[in-house]
A and B are shown apart, each in its own frame.
Chain A
């Protein structure tokens, strides 16, 4: 198991516990099958919730503080949001290291639908590993990006329950749902 480091080493604008973030990141990295060192930068000045994989070799991650925040208690950590955000980042890193994702575009070039289906794939595996994940929330996200159709709902369930997919599989879901949207 690799070492997890967090920047900053102490928070001043938010009431986040660095140890809790570090321990959870280590736990989820192990769950995802990652054994390299992980560095996570948290921008505590920003209450937005953007996440970025800066690099996967070495593993460098970035999160705006809102991604870990409790929506009911400003500036406090949310256990579920922490797990979900770290899961989205770390499972994506795992996929980036997989030859099946060699032809996945860079993150900045992914469409909203592609980003979303990949997030759903990551979160489904996180949920399967026993973490608390708000599946209805992510289903709504999926519907907004892929359409409010029976086909889209079926695609969501399929991706959520899957493991061992490739980029081509995920992209095929996007094309399938886009065809259904434009046909409707």
Chain B
């Protein structure tokens, strides 16, 4: 069996369509604001100038776009779970046992196998939730960024990118969806998200624990892993869509991150990185608008 697959090797049946993040970022319509299920200026009047300029706002059931925004996000969670399952499976298989930098301890493989078990359950739950929300499998495109992070040849960077950064994002997203389920009165969404959230805390904690254990005598390797995690955190702050700010569509779930082994300092760093991502996105938008006006 092949080891160390590339993201291009990721197989899907005909229902799934791959969408590149570059296509989304380079959408010429981005001058105006968000994706199709964002909020337009009329809906953002109370959000202040910053959110209004980029169409972001809290995901609440009473927003006009709420039903399709929730469906789109749930489908994104679903494809993320498939990739998380595949990623954990790769990490379980791709490395020989040992103590060397290109090897992993048996206990780490055991944790990855445990994660596979959890993620396959999440796939099943997500399929049922997408069905209950009236969404077809493959109705929305799939960006393979989570699996891409799991393709890193260094097991430690995989844990940093997937378990700490992307599963950390999953904590924030599931927390948001759990609140959405509660406020909307959906009898299953809140409980399913809460159940999956508990597992994600465990997965992130696995990443936190292994990062510390594998680098206890190698601070340089730890610094590289944390830097990679920070890059992924920033990339997937969704242009500021995930942050500590009250008006963010996805709020940083501080309490759950603490349970997952993040220190307050680390959480503050993620909040800072998210703020930077938001400012950079605002600046890019302003520059593109200026170019368009001049042209």
Contacts and interface: CB of A to CB of B under 8 A. Distances in A.
Contact of B67 (A45, A65, A140, A181): A140
A112 interface: yes
B134 A48 contact: no
A48 B34 contact: yes
A111 to B, nearest CB: 10
Contacts of B61: 144
B185 A147 contact: yes
Interface string A56-86: 0000000011100101111100000000000
Interface residues of A, number: 33
B34 A72 contact: no
A181 B36 contact: no
A64 B34 contact: no
B3 to A, nearest CB: 31
Given A46-B29, A75-B27, A144-B66, A69 B36 contact: yes
A138 B68 CA distance: 10
B161 interface: no
A136 interface: yes
Interface string A138-149: 111101110110
Interface stretch (B137-145, B247-255, B268-276): B137-145
A136 B130 CA distance: 10
Nearest to B133: A140
20 contacts: A13-B29, A14-B29, A46-B29, A46-B40, A47-B35, A49-B65, A71-B140, A72-B138, A72-B139, A73-B17, A74-B19, A74-B141, A136-B134, A137-B67, A137-B68, A137-B134, A141-B68, A144-B70, A144-B186, A145-B67
Contacts of A95: none
Interface residues of B, number: 42
A50 interface: yes
Contacts of B125: none
Nearest to B139: A71
Nearest to A136: B134
Contacts of B134: 134-141
A73 to B, nearest CB: 7
Interface string B128-165: 00011111101111000000000000000000000000
B71 A140 contact: yes
